[in-house]
Amino acid sequence: MSGHAWKVMVGKLYQSARHILEAGSDAVLLLLAPQVCRQCGAWVERQADGTACRACWEAWFAEQSRYRPGCHRCGRWVAADATMVQPQKQCAQCANWSLTWARSGGVYTGALRTALLTLKHTPRLPTPLVQRLHATWHEQSVLHTSDILVPIPLAPRRERARGYNQAVRLAEAVAQVARRPVVTEAVARVIETYPHRAGLDARARRQALEGAFRVIRPRLIANRRVLLVDDVLTSGVTLDTAARALLAAGAAEVSALTAARTLRHTSLA
Ligand SMILES: [Zn+2]
Ligand SMILES: [Zn+2]
């Protein structure tokens, strides 16, 4: 056997062994530490899928074809069969934003919602979520002008309790394809307000967040085009408040990328 053929054979053997081991570890995991799908209650057969099963992920991916962006600026979702011909240039939700663009990986439902809720206590990103983030980066060229990725900070007390910030994990996943630095030292969250949990209306939310973010190292963002990264965009007030702080401190432009966007603040025209 020639040296080359030998190498090819060893390579193939190695690949098969790896596949068997990977499949095997899933089987072992299913046996020793079974994970129930938080969405439907079935067994999760692949570790890489996290806390949602394959069928639920597939259902979520299929569901995305029911929506399309209704607004070019903020990317809010509208029903795919909406009568509107072209996306609006901007809409009532984003007209007063300081954010230049906002984009998200998909709607905050099903397996993606499950994955993002799990990410609040388990700092491991399921593969379908990472794939969706990567695809969103590639598809959304308006985000490509950014120079740096800035995860939305948690209040220090909350981050200490959790041990990590899930927005940092998401930004690191985006950085794998965006190849831009993840800057975590520039902005701090100085007021611990999470307005959506408090059930406030839009104006009260904005007031509650006033001054919540402080740029502590302005030189890290001065004249930079910043892409904020977070898990979910609901009304956009949190991201926009952070954007205002960054712009006031000298950032050239601020846009946002979130893993998901709720349908709650979306008019399904
Ligand atoms: Zn399921
Ligand atoms: Zn809009």
Q: Residue 269's pLDDT is what? A: 34
Fold of 57-261: Rossmann fold (3.40.50)
Query: Of the ligands numbered here, which is closest to the C-alpha atom of 103?
Result: 2
87 CA → ligand 2 middle, Å: 9
Please name which of 54, 74, 48 lies closest in space to residue 239, comparing C-alpha atoms: 74
Query: Of the ligands numbered here, which is closest to the C-alpha atom of 40?
Result: 1
Query: Of the ligands numbered here, which is closest to the C-alpha atom of 51?
Result: 1
Q: What ipTM was estimated for this complex?
A: 0.97
88 CA → ligand 2 middle, Å: 7
Query: Of the ligands numbered here, which is closest to the C-alpha atom of 36?
Result: 1
pLDDT tens digit at each of 269 positions of the chain: 667 777 777 777 766 665 655 566 777 767 777 889 999 999 999 999 999 999 999 999 999 999 999 999 999 999 988 777 788 899 999 999 999 999 999 999 999 999 999 999 999 999 999 999 999 999 999 999 999 999 999 999 999 999 999 999 999 999 999 999 999 999 999 988 766 665 677 778 888 888 899 999 999 999 999 999 999 999 999 999 999 999 999 999 999 999 999 986 544 43
Q: Residue 21's pLDDT is what? A: 57
Token pair 């977070």 in the structure block, residue = 230
Structure token digits, residue 122: 């388990």
Please name which of 101, 90, 166 lies closest in space to residue 136, comparing C-alpha atoms: 101
CA distances (Å), 240 to each of 92, 236, 264, in order? 14, 6, 18
DSSP assignment of the chain equals: --HHHHHHHHHHHHHHHHHHHHHHHHHHHHHHS--B-TTT-PBP--GGGTTS-HHHHHHHHHHGGGEEESBTTT--EEETT-S-SS-BSS-TTTTT-S-S-EEESSBS-HHHHHHHHHTTT-----HHHHHHHHHHHHH-GGGGG--EEEEPPPPHHHHHHHSS-HHHHHHHHHHHHH---B--SSEEE-S---HHHHT--HHHHHHHHTT-EEES-GGGTTT-EEEEEEEEESSSHHHHHHHHHHHHTT-SEEEEEEEEE-STT----
170 CA → ligand 1 middle, Å: 23
Integer Cα distance of 251 and 168 in angstroms: 20
DSSP assignment of 208-269 equals: HHTT-EEES-GGGTTT-EEEEEEEEESSSHHHHHHHHHHHHTT-SEEEEEEEEE-STT----
93 CA → ligand 2 middle, Å: 5
Q: Residue 268's pLDDT is what? A: 42
Is 205 within 8 Å of 196 (Cβ atoms)? yes
69 CA → ligand 2 middle, Å: 9
Is 87 within 8 Å of 72 (Cβ atoms)? yes
Query: Of the ligands numbered here, which is closest to the C-alpha atom of 73?
Result: 2
Listed by start position, the domains of the chain span: 57-261
Q: How many CB atoms lie within 10 A of CB 172?
A: 16
Query: Of the ligands numbered here, which is closest to the C-alpha atom of 39?
Result: 1
